[in-house]
């Protein structure tokens, strides 16, 4: 069985990459997986994933002092993890890192051949924000599709909170994913103004594990994890 590398990406900031990574980490609480924060701009995941402990979390920067993605660092870092004891590795790319990823993918080496040589399976999780973030999110998705050229699995994740006031965009996204044969999944339907939603968002900011939440919020999170993160 190949080791899985899951790349969580989106060049548009503020669409919920770190929220998605946090929920994924909760769903993987009892498994053999490593989470890596590559977001040098905010370090949000470093705060939110503290509950994993040092053995299952790393922070690593791929940018040089001019904010350029360093290809050799990326290649070397992934290769260093290819023989790690973890079955799955989840990497949270920041917006600057994500923006430069399509160019990195298409340079010098064939990414699919490289992954096959390492014996790893790469999956790209692309987060889509709603409202004013929608167009930029879709533009990045198109760049990634062009770079990956159907050689890798792509999973589209709709951050539901950002689409609450935009049902037309939600339908458009669903229709386009269906037409293109893309796997569309959803997450994050938490209402900040509600009691449970507020407790959950506070817990996320503070890096709570599931057991740290009040009973109602914990049950709501379990429902989220079962419905949206429980089938992989």
Neighbours of 108 (CB within 10 A): 10
What would the two tokens of residue 230 be? 């429980």
Give the mean model confidence (pLDDT) for residues 108-126.
94
Which CATH fold topology does 3-192 show? Rossmann fold (3.40.50)
Q: Where are the domains of the chain?
A: 3-192
Per-residue pLDDT at 63 exceeds 60? yes
Residue 227 contacts residue 58 (beta carbons within 8 Å): no
DSSP the chain: -PEEEEEEE-SSTTSSHHHHHHHHHHHTTTSSEEEEE--TTT-HHHHHTGGG-GGGEEE---B-TTS-B-HHHHHHHHHHHTTSS-SEEEEE--HHHHHHHHHHHTSSS-HHHHHHHHTEEEEEEEEE--GGGHHHHHHHHHHHHHHHTTSSEEEEEEEGGGGTT-HHHHHHHHHHHHHHT-EEEEE----TTSHHHHHHHHHHHTT--GGGS-HHHHHHHHHHHHHHHS--
Kindly state the tokens that stand for 73.
């660092």
- Strand pairing partners for 33? 88
What percent of the chain clears pLDDT 70, i.e. is strictly above it?
A: 97
DSSP string, 91-115: EE--HHHHHHHHHHHTSSS-HHHHH
Residue 96 pLDDT > 70: yes
pTM of the predicted model as reported, rounded to 2 decimal places: 0.95
Instruction: Using the predicted structure, report yes or no on whether residue 232 has a pLDDT greater than 60.
Output: no
Interval 38-56: pLDDT, tens: 876 667 777 899 899 999 9
pLDDT band at 231 (very low <50, low <70, confident <90, very high): low
Closest CA to 121 of 131, 112, 129: 112
């Amino acid at each position: 069985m190949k080791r899985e590398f899951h790349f969580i990406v989106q060049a548009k900031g503020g669409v919920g990459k770190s929220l998605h990574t946090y929920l994924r980490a909760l769903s993987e609480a009892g498994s053999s997986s490593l989470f890596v924060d590559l977001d040098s701009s905010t370090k949000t995941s470093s705060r939110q994933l503290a509950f994993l402990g040092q053995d299952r979390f790393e922070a690593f920067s791929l940018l040089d002092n001019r904010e350029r993605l360093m290809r050799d660092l990326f290649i070397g870092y992934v290769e260093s993890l290819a023989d790690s004891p973890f079955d799955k590795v989840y990497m949270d790319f920041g917006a600057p890192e994500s923006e430069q990823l399509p160019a990195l993918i298409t340079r010098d080496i064939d990414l699919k051949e490289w992954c096959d040589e390492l014996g790893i399976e790469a999956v790209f999780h692309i987060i889509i924000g709603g409202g004013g973030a929608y167009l930029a999110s879709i533009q990045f998705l198109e760049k990634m599709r062009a770079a990956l050229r159907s050689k890798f699995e792509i999973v589209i994740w709709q951050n539901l909170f950002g689409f609450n006031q935009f049902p037309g965009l939600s339908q458009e996204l669903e229709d386009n994913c269906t037409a293109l044969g893309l796997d569309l999944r959803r997450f994050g339907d938490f209402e900040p103004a509600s009691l449970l939603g507020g407790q959950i968002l506070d817990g996320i900011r503070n890096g709570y594990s599931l057991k740290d939440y009040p009973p109602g919020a914990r049950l709501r999170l379990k429902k989220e994890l079962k419905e949206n993160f429980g089938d992989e």
